[in-house]
Structure 1
Amino acid sequence: MTSPFAPMTSRESLATGQRSLGDPSVRFPLWPPLTAGCPVTGTGSVSYPVEVDYAYDKVPADLFATAPGRPRGHERWAPLLPPLHAPGLGEGGTPLVSLGDGLWIKDESRNPTWSHKDRINRVTVSAAVGAGAEGVVVASSGNHGASAAAYAARAGLRCVVLGSAGTPPAVDAFLRAYGAVVLPVPVDARWPLLRRIVERFGYHPVSNVTSMHTGHAFGPEGYKTLAYEIFVELGVPGAVFLPTGYGELLFGVWKGFAELVALGLADRVPRLYSCEPAAGGPLAAALRDEVPATRVSVGSTAAYAIASPVGGYRGVVAVRESGGRALLVSDAEMEAARSELARAGTWAELSAAAGLAGFRQLGPHDDGPVVCVSTSSGFKDRDLLAGDGSVEVDPEDWAEVERRVRTAR
């Protein structure tokens, strides 16, 4: 049997073009990146995303081998990523932490801006540099905006973040520290304003611009690296549980494992479980109704980072093709999962604990290890500064000291 690999030493991108997820026969050149979905297959009710294609027959033979001195971060996976025109910050390479009994946590809070969004923004800001844009614009109330601001600053680009009045104060300070222009606006006004800034200033959009989520063409490619890292360290797990908003992370992890199968390195894709807040759940609704994407009303939830009223076709593809399921988790379930992570030494945002919450809801798996992705740090929660905090104690009041020590968890 002929090897699908070619011996290569280059770490240059093997990206060849873009193709529609709605109809893979519809193809486009690699440049310019399509930031509003496929212009051919999209309709008034749904915009189909595009994905990046590669010269898979030229993948370096040693790309997934373990050896000392490997580049860290996206540089290691450059052949299977779009061109990395923007400098990195050491994104990726996050640890798998064992919780015992075959359960692993992929702790994405160890990324440079403490969330999984660094994997996507290294790639999308690179697209902005490659396209010759002077700046980037992003609609985000948290992780995505902070990450885009950091990578834009690193690349010497301007950054405009369209947030909302509910942006946590700590995150707002995070954004401004990178020199971003922060414009809090009503949520429904963010996307029309983003499109206007793109048209007026020529800034490159690094978040969604369409009514049904399509996102940046290059973005989910950065999330594939999460699948590569799991595979190199653990092999193919039985299942992966992921916090899910628009479904880009879900799709990126699915595509990463699907590529490993296509390259003959893995024999299957793990089942992927999307974990959305029960207050909304557009992906669960789309799968239930057998439509490419849909819109739902979102009730009250503290998991603001993944409380999306709209979904996208990428998530449908990932769950369907992996044989997984769309789960809905309550705030109480996420709070319990966040507490469990804290007891294990990982401080996670409430939204980030949705993957573990989904796993605990579904129950044990008996077909191999399970990975729950924890997407971001507890620093990002809106209730970070809520409560009274620790109260000073008189060191001579031994009764009070003893009471506190004994009541510690």
Structure 2
Amino acid sequence: MPKKINFRIDGMQCIRCQAIHPLMDYFEGCPPCMEAGTPASVAPHYTAWPLSLDFDTIGDWLAYPEPSGLGEGNTPLSNLPRLAAALGLSALCTKNEFGNPTGSHKDRMGRIVVKRALDIGAKTIAVASSGNAGVSMAAYAARSGLECVVVTTPDLNPNWRRAIEMHGARIVATEHSDDRWALIAQHARTGNWYPATNYTIPPVGSNPFGVDAYRAIALELHLQFQAVPPTDIIVPTARGDLLWGIAKGYRDLRDSGLARSIPKIHAVEPYPRISGALAGHGMVGTFPGDTDMVSIGGNTVTQQSLHALEIAKGSPVAVDGDDVATDQAALAKEGLYLERSSVATLTGLRKLISAKKIASNARVVLIATSHGYKEQARFLDRLPTKPLSRQVSASR
């Protein structure tokens, strides 16, 4: 069976030590860095870039060029002129990743992970997920005829559970969140499951081919803003898969000569993990906190998050849940009902402007990873609500 991988890839490169390893799957990151106690992700090493870029040829820039047929990518923008004016910005918009087939950015990863699994003959994909990634991998596995196991916890949102089961995936619930990783590690190391997400502690990020797929967001933004590029991009961040992918995509555009510069790319988190690591509290420790922004939860930091901020000269910012709830209502008044993890980008934007990390005349893009319809009601208790009005029939 001929390989379908992009012919421009000749190996996998460590994002930390820059060593280039043979073209294989390194689910636990760079082996020498892991052995040295400094775990770091690897990424596909491209020997060259295509000579041009348009919406029809974005696939040529990715590890697996062939589309899935589900229609992921090329997500739209929503302009927010009233909020831009209120914040003193030149322009503000969202990149609507909820426009992907299963309603989140995870579909970009799902497409590539499935292509890679098929390429190497894997039969079962496994994903540790509290929601979006599980639904996405279940859908893309079903599309490609692969088995899928979603390892989650007993409190999985019933909206996500129903979607996962409808796609035919098997759900396995572990008592604690970290137990998910141990179970996937066990099966991945024996070759039974092909992992889509990280399973190591300390973490190194998700499947490196899947993470690489997020570069497409940078490629699309480059095409959508060719006349006047954004100055700042704000990304909801857990372990930095999305953050790294966008930063790497812009660096590749610059290195190819198609872009002159890289916008500042900032990381929004629910409590100060990245800033704690940058302040010298260690890369391999834990940064505990509690949040209802489940898509960006977790208590660890990855090298890829730090390197992404270094590439894009961005800043980390932690946001308060009550402020995010207020901004969720503010964005809804603009016609966008987003999950709280996405709304956190607007809250982070306010803080970054206040801290003078973003100029008052900046052109800002917020990455809207998913819409709010997936959230359980228990996450919405702080939203302002009004009693339903009763309509009297005109015939009475």
1:217-296 to 2 correspondences below 5 Å: 217-235=208-226, 236-278=229-271, 281-289=272-280, 291-296=282-287
Identity %: 29
Aligned partners of 2:234 and 2:268 also within 8 Å = yes
> Counterpart in 2 of 1:14?
8
Q: Does 1:96 align with 2:50?
A: no
Q: In the superposition, relative to structure 1, how do residues 269 and 295 fare at CA in structure 2: closer, same or farther (>3 Å)?
A: same
Amino acid at match of 1:115: S
Aligned counterpart, 1:176: 165
Distance in 1 (alpha carbons) for counterparts of 2:282 and 2:338: 33
Question: Counterpart of 2:74 in structure 1: which amino acid?
Answer: G
1:303-382 residue pairs with structure 2 within 5 A? 303-363=293-353, 365-366=359-360, 368-382=362-376
How far, CA to CA, are the matches of 2:197 and 2:80 in structure 1?
A: 33
In structure 1, distance between residues paired with 2:196 and 2:158: 23
Deviations 1:347-370 (A, max 9, x none): 211111111111122226345411
Shift of 1:248: 0.8
| Paired residues of 2:184 and 2:193 also in contact (CA < 8 A) | no
The residue aligned with 2:132 is 143
**Structure 2 CA distance for partners of 1:120 and 1:96, relative to 1, 3 Å:** same
Q: Cα gap change, 1:367/1:255 in structure 2, threshold over 3 Å: closer, same or farther?
A: farther
1:132 equivalenced with 2:121 (yes/no): yes
Instruction: Work out the CA distance in 2 between the residues paired with 1:149 and 1:88.
Output: 15
Unpaired runs of 5+ residues, structure 1, are: 1-10, 65-69, 399-409
- Equivalent-residue separation in structure 2 for 1:44 and 1:372 (angstroms): 36
Indicate whether 1:41 and 2:33 are aligned: yes
> Could you report, residue by residue, the CA deviation over 1:294-322 in whole angstroms, capped at 9, with x for unpaired residues?
421122x2111111111210000011222
**In structure 1, C-alpha distance between the alignment counterparts of 2:208 and 2:391, rounded to whole Å:** 59
The amino acid across from 1:127 in the alignment is R
Q: How far apart, CA to CA, are the structure 1 residues paired with 2:13 and 2:214?
A: 18
Match of 1:115? 104
The equivalent of 1:154 in structure 2 is 143
Candidates 182, 193, 200, aligned match of 1:203: 193
Contact 2:11 2:21 in 1 (8 A): yes
Between the aligned partners of 2:376 and 2:359, the Cα distance in structure 1 is 33
8 Å contact kept, 1:277–1:328: yes
Decide whether the 8 Å contact of 2:236 with 2:342 is kept in 1: yes
Q: 2:88 — aligned with what?
A: none
Aligned 8 A contact 2:239 2:300 in 1: yes
User: Cα–Cα, structure 1 residues 42 and 346, in superposed 2: closer, same or farther, change >3 Å?
Assistant: same
The SS at the match of 2:148 is strand
1:395 pairs, out of 386, 389, 392, with 392
Aligned to 1:402: none
Give the SS at the match of 2:316. Answer: strand
CA contact (8 A) 1:292 1:313 kept: yes
Distance change >3 Å, CA 367–CA 114, structure 1 → 2: same
CA distance in structure 2 between the aligned counterparts of 1:120 and 1:333, rounded to whole angstroms: 30
> Secondary structure of 2:80's partner?
strand
Q: Check whether the contact 2:238–2:298 (CA below 8 A) recurs between aligned residues.
A: yes
Runs of at least 5 residues in structure 2 that lack an aligned partner in the other structure = 85-90
SS in 2 for 1:376: coil
CA distance in 1, matches of 2:379, 2:322: 20
Shift of 1:200: 4.8
Counterpart of 1:179 in structure 2: which amino acid? G
Classify 1:40/1:16 alpha carbon distance in 2 versus 1 (closer, same or farther; 3 Å).
Answer: same
Query: In structure 2, how many angstroms separate the alpha carbons of the residues matched to 1:234 and 1:86?
Result: 23
RMSD: 2.4
Q: Which amino acid aligns with 1:157?
A: L
The 2-side partners of 1:88 and 1:212 are apart by 35
The 3-state SS of whatever aligns with 1:188 is: helix
Provide the C-alpha distance between the structure 1 equivalents of 2:263 and 2:110, rounded to a whole number of angstroms: 25
Cα pair distance change 1:90/1:293, threshold 3 Å: farther
Do the aligned partners of 2:50 and 2:61 also contact (CA within 8 Å) in 1? no
Distance 1:228 1:127 in 2: 21
Shift of 1:380: 2.2
1:155/1:390 CA distance change after superposition, 3 Å: farther
In the TM superposition, residue 224 of structure 1 has moved relative to its aligned partner by 0.5
